[in-house]
Amino acid sequence: MAYPPEMQGSLKKVEASRRLRREQTFPRLDFAEKTTLLETYHPDFRPAEKRQIRVGSNKGDSAPKELVDLLESPGRLNPDIIDLTKVDYKTDILVVGSGGAGLTAALTAKEHGAEVLIATKLRLGDSNTIMAEGGIGAATLPEDSPAIHYIDTVVGGRFKNIPELVEALVQDAPFIVEWLTNLGVNFDRLPDGTYFTHMPAGHSRRRSHSVKDLTGLEIMRVLCDEIRNQEINVLEFSPAVELVLDDQGKCAGSVLLNFDTDQYIVVEAKTTIIATGGIGRLHPQGFPTSNHYGATADGLIMAYRAGSKLLYIDYIQYHPTGVAWPEQMLGLLVSEALRAQGAQVVNVDGEMFVDRLETRDALSAAIIRECGERGKGVLTPTGMVGVWLDTPLIDVIGRDGTFLRRFAGIHKRFQKYDIDPIKDPILVYPTQHYQNGGIQTDVHCETDVPNLYAIGEVQGGVHGHNRLGSNSLVDIFVFGRRTGEYAAQRINKTKIRKLSLEHLKAYNELLLEEQTTTDTVSPMLLPDYRFEKALMMVQYTKEPFRA
Amino acid sequence: MLNDIIKMIPIYVMGRKYEVPRGLTIQKALEFSGYMLKRGCGCRGGVCGACVTVYRKKGDYKINVGLACQTVVEPDMDLVQLPYTSANKALYTIKNTPLTDSNIIRLYPELLKCMGCNACTKSCPMDLEVMSYVSAAIRGDFAKVVELSMECIMCGMCAARCPAELSPFNIALLIRRMYGKHVIPPAPHLKQRLTEIAEDKFKDEIEKLKASDKPELETRYRELQATRGAAVAEMTA
């Protein structure tokens, strides 16, 4: 599965131009150029791929078609078969989802005296967090400051970020590095303890704190272990299928599904924290995704039906360096840290066409332009296309051994297919990576539904229209800590009245009124890749490629 | 959708035969065969440890272990996915548990039962030198444990196969956490920054930024980018 003969010619050109390119940089886009590039080539700016939502709080707003289909689907739960007077679990705080945000909120709420129950669709810790390679953005170096972090984040977010949320993000970020270190996370360090940091695209200072190329894995191992040490109750393979409100419209828990027995579980909770992550497995616009199997927008759908509003939900992040070859790895991510460490992005002729440190939205748009209109992409034997991420530069610029020391995991994954990224570049094409928007909340992450909170990727507003690298891995912990504490301090004031699923019935009736017709129910819970869909690696060629 | 170009090969899922296209991963081959994966599927990218799969090849006595999302199917592969592994996990308070031999043995006394059979190493789908880090733990070379176990995905295969009933991956996790918390020296620059934030050093500036308009922020950003220095840290980790 090494690079096939038809790609060898292009590889030779990349190798031939490397020595000269090494010393060169491509001119950075100015603000006007970037805007034009995005509006012409970025998938977010294709009106035909969106449609208007016809029901609920965001009625009239446009969103990706794949999401609107789910928003306009009836609930998978039949409210008439659930007896809400029979409660299986009572708890102060229910956390739905067990990625970085959910586990952090659970640990923090417990620390502040609350009783916590975690419900999660798959295993404890199954999440996008575990896949995060790059690092945690935090202004800890003397030449950096939270104010600079603020500027970078807001410019990267196209000035649409909610200022108070960004302020919380950048001011709390260094405390998160300390919190995780104290839990025993082995960040990359120098002998004197100084954190090793790198500068992902769009940032102006080195501030990404990494653990080799497995930052998320290391953090999640530690957090899951700590959840066990704290003896927090966890229900695995128990996805939430609907939120439960009380008769005053406040959130009062959730109905879960036992994936092993197909029985429903009723949870009554004074506070419910949704931390269910993103949208990738809906494959917006048919793109491959870097996301976890469980990223099916469940929390978004349930919160919307319960009355929460969505913000910037039509802005999706396509990560520029998704794998385009080998096929088996299609859509998986290679870390932005590769670019931070010197890997350039070049076309079929081995020429640079964009600076390697442009933000993700701009770089993705530039790659789509290069492979489409300009016809300078590299075609694979299966009809996929991509451009080269010139990874051999990392050992040329650093000293020999840099790649292996920093990116052993990436190296190992490619070696299984006889590709050595130290010697040969990696073929990349944008892959769906992140949901920039999400459920709208106040600064405490409380949604429009009282006692319902949203944190992590499912929440919207921190990152505006485009998130910077390393900012999600800090977002989840900052708002997990804040919300866990805030919610725990309020449980004594919260009284739960009669449990109700009336909102679900009302929503289903609205769907009937609007005559929406879908053949699905929601939340989706799991994507269906069975039978021919297992071959969907060839599906993505609907992008307008030109050889 | 299938046509003559796709070469089909036989595989056996828990003994039942299916024909699947060559070149698929085990995960996609299972899905192609009609399995809706609940247990046994996670990140689909080789880092979460959910999809560990045990298989034999026809005519071969050897038991192989691989991640379903990373391993390409071979003809006549006979496979089963492990839905769950049970493993011993000690409870402790990391703050009060410095990295010492006695703490490790107190929490995981079975560590000393290792008989050096190497079954753990042979069963690791990440090709980690599991037995080497278990030996390093026994002789107190904790830096080595951290180094050799860092890529562990916690799938639990080593614990499932160990005849001495160790849970090597949990022992390594304990040692890594103790190492990160108690051995690596604290960073002065972080302490300094936390003090500055606690003293509201950046509050006024951020207040101003929150009220700034787009051109002001653009100007500041241009200045910062001009002085950003090297993206690649001039450090060796």
What are B127-179's pLDDT values in tens digits?
999 999 999 999 999 999 999 999 999 999 999 999 999 999 999 999 999 99
pLDDT for the residue A543:
54
pLDDT for the residue A245:
98
* Section B204-215 average pLDDT: 98
Question: Do B104 and B76 belong together in one domain?
Answer: no
In a domain, B86, yes or no: no
User: At how many degrees (to 10) do helices B168-178 and A215-229 cross?
Assistant: 100
Question: Do B126 and B161 belong together in one domain?
Answer: yes
pLDDT for the residue A89:
98
Residue B118 DSSP one-character state: -
Q: Domain ends where: B166, B183, B200?
A: B183
Substitution target in A124, A151, A332 with the highest count of B β-carbons within 10 Å is A151
- A539 near B CB under 8 A: no
Q: Is B165 left (phi over 0), alpha (psi -120 to 50) or beta?
A: left
Residue carrying the six token digits 């005053």:
A248
B194 in Cβ contact with B150 (< 8 Å): no
Interface of B with A in 87-146 (CB under 8 A): 89, 91-95, 126-127, 146
Question: Do A241 and A164 belong together in one domain?
Answer: yes
Q: What is the pLDDT of residues A464-519, one digit of tens each?
A: 999 999 999 999 999 999 999 999 999 999 998 999 999 999 999 999 999 887 88
Q: How many domains is chain A built from? A: 2
Q: Domain ends where: A376, A411, A432?
A: A432
Q: Which of the four pLDDT bands, split at 50, 70 and 90, describes residue A1?
A: low
Question: Do B117 and B169 belong together in one domain?
Answer: yes
The range of the structural domain enclosing residue B12 comes to 8-81
Partners of residue B25 on adjacent β-strands: B72
Residue B31 pLDDT > 60: yes
A298 in Cβ contact with A239 (< 8 Å): yes
Residues of B in contact with A222 (CB under 8 A): 173, 177, 180
Residue A206 pLDDT > 70: yes
Residue A61 pLDDT > 70: yes
Interface of A with B in 194-213 (CB under 8 A): 194-199, 203-206, 211-212
To the nearest whole number, what is the mean pLDDT of chain A? 94
Question: Do B147 and B68 belong together in one domain?
Answer: no
In a domain, A241, yes or no: yes
- Measured CA to CA, the distance from residue A152 to residue A500 in angstroms comes to 44
Question: Do A486 and A371 belong together in one domain?
Answer: no
Residue B179 DSSP one-character state: I
pLDDT for the residue B231:
58
In a domain, A532, yes or no: no
In a domain, B207, yes or no: no
Question: Do B77 and B101 belong together in one domain?
Answer: no
Q: Which of the four pLDDT bands, split at 50, 70 and 90, describes residue B5?
A: low
In a domain, B205, yes or no: no
The SS3 call for residue A94 is strand
* Section A441-460 average pLDDT: 98
pLDDT for the residue A381:
82
Is A170 in Cβ contact with B206 (below 8 Å)?
A: yes
In a domain, B2, yes or no: no
Q: Which residue in chain B has the smallest CA separation from A536?
A: B28
Widest Cα–Cα separation across chain B: 73
Question: Do A498 and A423 belong together in one domain?
Answer: no
Interface of A with B in 304-323 (CB under 8 A): none
Cα distances (Å, whole numbers) of residue B215 to A30, A159, A170, A392, B219: 13, 10, 21, 38, 6
Question: Do B114 and B67 belong together in one domain?
Answer: no
In 3D space, the residue among B135, B83, B97 whose CA is nearest the CA of residue B114 turns out to be B135
To the nearest whole angstrom, how far is the Cα of B209 from the nearest Cα of chain A? 8
Question: Do B104 and B74 belong together in one domain?
Answer: no
Question: Distance between terminal CA atoms of chain B?
Answer: 50
A491 in Cβ contact with A270 (< 8 Å): yes
* Section B23-32 average pLDDT: 93
Number of Cβ within 10 Å of residue A142's Cβ equals 11
Q: Which residue in chain A has the smallest CA separation from B5?
A: A382
B65 in Cβ contact with B57 (< 8 Å): no
Q: Domain ends where: A385, A416, A432?
A: A432
Residues of B in contact with A404 (CB under 8 A): none
Residue A33 DSSP one-character state: H
- Measured CA to CA, the distance from residue A540 to residue B33 in angstroms comes to 22
Q: Which of the four pLDDT bands, split at 50, 70 and 90, describes residue B232?
A: low
Question: Do A278 and A221 belong together in one domain?
Answer: yes
Residue carrying the six token digits 């916590």:
A116
Q: What is the pLDDT of residues A278-336, one digit of tens each?
A: 999 999 988 889 999 999 999 999 999 999 999 999 999 999 999 999 988 888 999 98
Q: Looking at residue A343, which CATH number applies to its domain?
A: 3.90.700.10
- A375 near B CB under 8 A: no
Q: What is the CA radius of gyration of chain A?
A: 23
- A355 near B CB under 8 A: no
In a domain, A9, yes or no: yes
Cα distances (Å, whole numbers) of residue A367 to A9, A147, A320, A352: 20, 31, 7, 11
Question: Do A95 and A178 belong together in one domain?
Answer: yes
A421 in Cβ contact with A411 (< 8 Å): yes
pLDDT for the residue A409:
87
In 3D space, the residue among A310, A293, A311, A314 whose CA is nearest the CA of residue A301 turns out to be A310
In a domain, A59, yes or no: no
Q: Domain ends where: B155, B183, B211?
A: B183
Q: Which two tokens stand for residue B58?
A: 């026809």
Q: Are strands A344-346 and A385-390 parallel, antiparallel or unpaired?
A: antiparallel
Q: Which of the four pLDDT bands, split at 50, 70 and 90, describes residue A546?
A: very low
In 3D space, the residue among A193, A195, A153 whose CA is nearest the CA of residue A475 turns out to be A153
Question: Do A291 and A324 belong together in one domain?
Answer: no
Question: Do B144 and B112 belong together in one domain?
Answer: yes
Whole-prediction pTM value?
0.96
A209 is catalytic: no
In a domain, B49, yes or no: yes
Q: Looking at residue B168, which CATH number applies to its domain?
A: 1.10.1060.10
Substitution target in A338, A535, A541 with the highest count of B β-carbons within 10 Å is A535
Of A379-383, A540-544, B13-17, B129-133, give the lowest mean pLDDT range: A540-544
In 3D space, the residue among A96, A95, A100 whose CA is nearest the CA of residue A127 turns out to be A100
Q: What is the DSSP string of A273-295?
A: EE-----GGG-GGG--B-S-TT-
In a domain, A71, yes or no: no
Q: Domain ends where: A381, A416, A432?
A: A432
In a domain, A69, yes or no: no
Residue A536 pLDDT > 80: no
Is B214 in Cβ contact with A328 (below 8 Å)?
A: no
- Measured CA to CA, the distance from residue B85 to residue B159 in angstroms comes to 8
pLDDT for the residue A383:
79
Partners of residue A311 on adjacent β-strands: A438
In 3D space, the residue among A263, A268, A266, A276 whose CA is nearest the CA of residue A302 turns out to be A276
Question: Do A488 and A420 belong together in one domain?
Answer: no
Q: Which residue in chain A has the smallest CA separation from B175?
A: A184
Question: Do A306 and A242 belong together in one domain?
Answer: yes
Q: Are strands A264-274 and A452-454 parallel, antiparallel or unpaired?
A: parallel
- Measured CA to CA, the distance from residue B85 to residue B50 in angstroms comes to 10
In a domain, B70, yes or no: yes
Question: Do A472 and A403 belong together in one domain?
Answer: no
Residue A538 pLDDT > 50: no
Q: How many domains is chain B built from? A: 2
Exposure string over A83-119, b if 16+ CB within 10 A, otherwise e = ebeeeebebbbbbbbbbbbbbbbbbbbbeeebbbbbb
| Residue B34 CB-density burial (10 A; 0-12 exposed, 13-18 middle, 19+ buried) | exposed
Question: Do B72 and B106 belong together in one domain?
Answer: no
In a domain, A94, yes or no: yes
In 3D space, the residue among B132, B161, B171 whose CA is nearest the CA of residue B148 turns out to be B132
Q: Looking at residue A182, which CATH number applies to its domain?
A: 3.50.50.60
pLDDT for the residue B237:
38
In 3D space, the residue among A72, A452, A122 whose CA is nearest the CA of residue A256 turns out to be A122
Question: Distance between terminal CA atoms of chain A?
Answer: 22
Q: What is the DSSP string of A193-225?
A: SPBPEE--TT-SS--EE-STT-HHHHHHHHHHH
Question: Do B70 and B123 belong together in one domain?
Answer: no
As for the ipTM of the complex, it is 0.96
In a domain, B47, yes or no: yes
| Residue A492 CB-density burial (10 A; 0-12 exposed, 13-18 middle, 19+ buried) | exposed
Residue carrying the six token digits 């793109």:
A287
pLDDT for the residue A157:
97
Question: Do A269 and A203 belong together in one domain?
Answer: yes
B172 in Cβ contact with A136 (< 8 Å): no
Q: Domain ends where: B26, B52, B81?
A: B81
Partners of residue A333 on adjacent β-strands: A322
In a domain, A352, yes or no: yes
Question: Do B132 and B167 belong together in one domain?
Answer: yes
Cα distances (Å, whole numbers) of residue A205 to A148, A153, A337, B201, B224: 8, 12, 14, 19, 8
Question: Do A156 and A287 belong together in one domain?
Answer: yes
Question: Do B102 and B129 belong together in one domain?
Answer: yes
Residue B236 pLDDT > 70: no
* Section A252-267 average pLDDT: 98
Q: Looking at residue B61, which CATH number applies to its domain?
A: 3.10.20.740
- Measured CA to CA, the distance from residue A349 to residue A378 in angstroms comes to 9
The range of the structural domain enclosing residue A379 comes to 5-41+317-432
Residues of B in contact with A294 (CB under 8 A): 42
In a domain, B137, yes or no: yes
